[in-house]
């Protein structure tokens, strides 16, 4: 089965670019995610982490969550 798939993949022109594009997208996504986590404010992280536990924050999410 693998030989059947591998044979047809070698017939496609430019197929080698897809793994490179996938790696670049993967790397950029996780680099951006890491940067967002590192640069986010501690107050924002604390406030968001308490959302599941406090009902008053859930009621005022639109007004209070993105202040500052």
pLDDT value at residue 67? 57
DSSP letters, 12-52, are: STTTTHHHHHHHHHHHHHHHHHHHHHHHS-HHHHHHHHTTT
Tell me: the pLDDT tens digits for 3-35?
666 677 777 778 788 889 999 999 999 999 999
Write down the mean pLDDT value for the chain: 79
Prediction pTM value: 0.54
Tell me: the pLDDT tens digits for 43-57?
988 888 887 777 665
pLDDT value at residue 12? 75
């Amino acid at each position: 089965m693998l030989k059947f798939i591998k044979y047809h993949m070698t017939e496609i022109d430019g197929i080698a670019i897809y793994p490179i594009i996938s790696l670049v997208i993967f790397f950029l996504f996780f680099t951006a995610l890491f940067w967002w986590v590192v640069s986010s404010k501690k107050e924002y992280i604390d406030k968001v982490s308490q959302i599941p536990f406090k009902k008053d924050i859930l009621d005022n999410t639109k007004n209070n969550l993105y202040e500052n």
